[in-house]
Each structure stands twice: as structure tokens, then as C-alpha cells.
Structure 1
Amino acid sequence: MLTQTLTRPFTALDRFGSWGADLPLRLFLAWEFFESGLEKFNGANWFADLQGNFPFPFNLLPAGLNWQLSMWAELICPLLLVLGLGTRLASLVLMVVTVVAIAAVHWPAEWSSLAELARGYSISDQGYGNYKLPLIYLVALLPLLLKGAGRLSVDHWLKQR
């Protein structure tokens, strides 16, 4: 009886959650990545300055190609997230973009201890890196990669057909 009394108020939330729990996550990530893609679309290529920091195999590609790959991934994949179309693939692509960004831009140039590395877990760079925000994006993309877009998505609609 006590269990039923405690769980009853959450029944509606459970029903809504089965349909749209992932939607705020998809919209948040889509906004963040699309904004970054637009910045690249309207800006100048600065990848040549840090091409040497890119991990393999991106360090073998020309900076201009990396710029185009990153920009288009950050413009197209967010649209796919909003629609819930190819959500797992879009999430994977954005995770790769994020890992490359962490390695090339956000990871500290030098660190000699875990305590020093932990100082880079911040939003602003104080000389120790600033990988907190991209790490949050990686963690937020993980459920979409593992579970997909959920029921309120084109993916779900296509699967039903």
C-alpha cells in the first residue's frame, strides 16, 4: 500500500518518460553542436594552428579538410538529433568530433600528475586545459548512442514501418 502511494504520482511521468525523456537531451546537444558548426561556417579556419595536436588519423589530413569535416558534422548531425533520425550514428560522429576537440584544444599541453590533470576539469582555461564542457557533451551523447532516440523520433517511426 505504501509503495503504491509513493509510486502513483510518478505514473504519468513514467508514461511521458517512455516517449520523450531523450528529447530535451537531443535538443540541448543539437543546439550546442549546431552553434559550433555555424561559428565555423561563418568564421575563418584556425585548425592549421593546432593540426599537430589532432589524434590519428586526423593529424594526417589537411587542416582544411578537418575544418570541413568538423563543420559539416556539427551542422548536419544536430539536425538529425532534432529529428531523431540516425540518432546513434549522429551521436557517434559528434562523439568523435568531441574527442578530437578535447585532444587538440581542451586537453592540457603538459601535466605531470593526476592532480594537475584534474585542474583542467574546468570551463575556462587557466593554463591547465578546459575539458569539462566537452566531457559533459560526451557523457550526454552516450545514452543516445546506446539507446537511440526513443519513441518520439523518426527512427522509432521508421522501425515501426
Structure 2
Amino acid sequence: MHYPALAPLKNAFTHLNRLGTWSADLPLRLFLAWEFFESGLEKWNGQNWFVDIQSAFPFPFNVLPADLSWQMSMWAELIAPLLLLLGLGTRFATFVLMGLTVVAISAVHWPEHWSTLSELAQGYTISDKGYGNYKLPLIYLIAAMPLLLNGSGRFSLDHLLFRRKA
């Protein structure tokens, strides 16, 4: 069936599809780049507090010196976001930031003690009230998934440098 009254809507969706092909990933790249870069700058300008929580890191990070972990985390949070911003090495940068986030959830954001799923669910929050606070890093992981799976899209240096010749 053909519905002439829906033609303007179909036309609008066609334009949105074209725009999305070029830039659907861009808001995720900008959001994640800002959030992680900001965290990297906090480390750059702050004191190394990893010394206090080094034993909470998962293997192999718990056996690395705290200073090395701090430097690795800081530089990952400064360089990978710049790569995201440019859309250069997007999948690699995303993978690095996702790994960093999993370590952060394990060491800092996961509740120390929980015995029921109800208690674990209380950690799904932005503020820590004794049950962890893994909501925000989980949002980062979920926001990063499309970039890991699909790459940076057409509006990126990855596309410009590595597009296939027709």
C-alpha cells in the first residue's frame, strides 16, 4: 500500500538516515572523549591515590607498582579520548577505555560486600552509600559498545584513511 500523506515523513527519515550514516557515532565519541579526558586531567593534576587501593585491583594490575598503574591509567585517559575525538584508531581506543573502566569498576565502584542481588542492585547508583557506585562506569561501557562493534563511522580519520577504494 502506498500512503501519499506519509511521503514527507519518509523523506525526513531518508535525510536522517543519510545524516546518521555520517555522524551517528559522533555524540558517543564526543561524550566518552570528554568524560575520560576529564578523568585523565584530574589524575594529571592530582595526587596518586592508587597506593591506597592497589590491593583492590584485579590481576595483573594488583601486582604492578601503584605509580605505574597511575601513569598507565592517566595516559590512557588522556590519549585514547583524543583518538576518539579524531575518530582515529577508534576501536583500539574504545577497547583500552573499556578495559580501564572494567578495572575501575572492580577496584573502586563495585560493592565490597553484598550477599543478595537486592544489595548488589543498590550499588547501581551515582553516589556511594555503602553498596558501591557502578552506575556511571556501566553507562560508559554501554555507550562504548557501538564504537567497539561498528568503529567510528564515516565522519572520522579512520574512514578517511582506511576507506576501501571502489
Following the alignment from structure 2 to structure 1, what is the Cα–Cα distance between the partners of residues 59 and 76? 18
Q: Matched residues in 2 for 1:7 and 1:123: separation?
A: 40
After superposition, where does 1:7-156 map in structure 2 within 5 Å? 7-156=10-159
Q: What residue ranges of structure 2 are gaps of 5+ in the alignment?
A: none
TM-score, length of structure 2 as denominator length: 0.94
Aligned residues: 161
Superposition deviation, residue 17 in structure 1: 0.1
Identity %: 70
- Which of the pair is proportionally richer in helix? 1
1:31 positional shift: 0.2
After TM superposition, give the deviation of residue 28 of structure 1 in Å.
0.5
Q: Counterpart amino acid of 2:60?
A: P
Unaligned ranges ≥5, structure 1: none
- Specify the code of the residue in structure 2 equivalent to 1:37: G
Return the offset for 1:159: 0.9
Deviation per residue, 1:34-68 (Å, 9 max, x gap):
00000000000000111011011111101000000
Task: Give the letter for the 1:59 counterpart.
Answer: N
Tell me the C-alpha RMSD between the 2 structures.
1.2
- What is the Cα deviation at residue 7 of structure 1? 2.5
Q: CA deviation at 1:8?
A: 2.4
Deviations 1:45-94 (A, max 9, x none): 00011101101111110100000000000000000000000000000000
CA distance in 1 between partners of 2:12 and 2:159 (Å): 27
TM-score, normalization by structure 1: 0.97
Deviation string, structure 1 residues 90-144 (Cα, Å, up to 9, x no partner): 0000001100000000000100011100000000001100000000000011110
The yes-or-no answer on 1:2 pairing with 2:3 is yes
1:2 shift after superposition: 3.1
Amino acid at match of 2:65: P
Instruction: Find the aligned partners of 1:147 and 1:158 in 2 and give their Cα distance.
Output: 16
